[in-house]
Structure 1
């Protein structure tokens, strides 16, 4: 099955990732406004009528800010862990809320969405793999350090949104206070360019067609720098930087090699 993916926005000002097939789609997080989500999808030729659910990675505002209006207007079920919901401040009426649990697959039509835990300074953070038959797309952002869950799933994906949040030297020399620098690089914050590149070089499957570098810091990274690092090791994988200001094009992802069951 062919899957279509785009980053509608990626960064500390808002995160929203679209994965779908011809009939249905899901959003991973909705951190930009309902109006902006509509505008960006319309520019891409995508319809919100195909979106059947929103999946929430964690409760930070740049991932959930747009949910109340978007979910209420389109009556979209919001899949969220109990711990994340408890700390999110989201309203519990006006749209359907569905309990999300790690490694319990959720079927949205022919899409299978599986969450798994990650290292981040939130109450119950999760990453996602969205599968359409044999085609798999990972959404791997807001990760303090690679863990065995991330390595396992990244190595099975045909495409991935992969965090490359900061350049270590830019962060060290930058204007952020010491406590914030330590929060970012302390194991429960974000992945650096180098951490993401190490994962990419060591565990990227030969059949991965696209990687979208995501959640780049405005102050502590440079899109050209991040892309150049990955381009040196990309082989046949297309490297795209997901913008914090605009949507990416829509990319068609198709499995050229089947992999095992999601576990």
Structure 2
């Protein structure tokens, strides 16, 4: 089996990640507008008809802004914890609100979505992995520091969205006030480039084909810097820096090693 993945947007101006097979898909967070979500999916040849659910990582506005309209327009269930729903103040139809529990898989068609807690300054924040039989995708952003759970799930992934939010020197020498700098690097904020690279180098499974580096800071990071930092350590993994201004390409993830570009084109034509 296989999964298609893309970052529709990634950054403090909005986050939205698509993971799906040929019949069903989910969105993790919708921090961009309904219209922008539709436009970016359409450009990639994706249909909203395949989207069966939205999963919410936490209540910060760059992760939830587009959820009410998108859920209402397409009658999509929203999987969200009670704490996140309360703190986010989302206006959702009661029948479309569904809870989830850490480490308990939720089945969405052939997709199995499992949440686990993460260290972030939010009410009840979670990361996710999405499985389609033997293929596993991780969505790991807005994390103050790596923990044992993150490491364990990262080792399972054939592809992952991994936060690389800031360069330590850029943050320390930048214009942010010290209170905000300390919040970002204080263990419940965001992962630095160095923390993300350490996780990747020490725990990357040999079958990981793609790493999408996500949630880069506009002021405290630089896409070219991140790419130059990670690429020498790729060891066969394709490194992609997700943009805060546009969707990435649509990537075809399979458990079979060495899938050709031609094979990818044939699979994408099925959409």
Could you tell me how far 1:221 is from its partner in structure 2? 0.1
Deviations 1:159-199 (CA, angstroms, capped at 9, x unpaired): 00000000000000000000000000000000000000000
Match of 2:209 in 1: 209
Contact 2:68 2:92 in 1 (8 A): no
Match of 1:111 in 2: 111
Could you tell me how far 1:82 is from its partner in structure 2? 1.1
Alignment of 1:144-155 (within 5 A): 144-155=144-155
- The runs of at least 4 aligned residues of structure 1 exceeding 6 Å deviation read none
Deviations 1:102-151 (CA, angstroms, capped at 9, x unpaired): 11100000000000000000000000000000000000000000001100
Could you tell me how far 1:94 is from its partner in structure 2? 6.8
Match of 2:17 in 1: 17
Could you tell me how far 1:92 is from its partner in structure 2? 3.6
Match of 2:32 in 1: 32
Contact 1:72 1:94 in 2 (8 A): no
Q: Distance in 1 between matches of 2:67 and 2:94?
A: 11
Q: Which runs of 5+ in 2 are unaligned?
A: 258-271
Contact 1:75 1:95 in 2 (8 A): no
Greater CA drift, 175-184 or 93-102:
93-102
Contact 2:79 2:99 in 1 (8 A): yes
Could you tell me how far 1:71 is from its partner in structure 2? 0.4
**TM-score, scaled to structure 1:** 0.97
Match of 2:42 in 1: 42
Alignment of 1:124-163 (within 5 A): 124-163=124-163
Could you tell me how far 1:95 is from its partner in structure 2? 6.0
Could you tell me how far 1:51 is from its partner in structure 2? 0.1
Deviations 1:72-120 (CA, angstroms, capped at 9, x unpaired): 0000000001111111100142760001111110000000000000000
Match of 2:186 in 1: 186
Contact 1:5 1:253 in 2 (8 A): yes
Q: Distance in 2 between matches of 1:155 and 1:230?
A: 17
> SS where residue 228 of structure 2 aligns?
helix
Q: Distance in 2 between matches of 1:133 and 1:94?
A: 31
Q: Distance in 2 between matches of 1:227 and 1:207?
A: 20
Q: Distance in 2 between matches of 1:104 and 1:55?
A: 14
> SS where residue 226 of structure 2 aligns?
helix
Could you tell me how far 1:256 is from its partner in structure 2? 2.9
Match of 2:261 in 1: none
Query: Superposition RMSD on alpha carbons, in Å?
Result: 0.9
1:88 aligns with 2:88: yes
1:100 aligns with 2:94: no
Q: Which runs of 5+ in 1 are unaligned?
A: 258-263
> SS where residue 122 of structure 1 aligns?
coil
Match of 2:268 in 1: none
Deviations 1:208-252 (CA, angstroms, capped at 9, x unpaired): 000000000000000000011110100100000000000000000
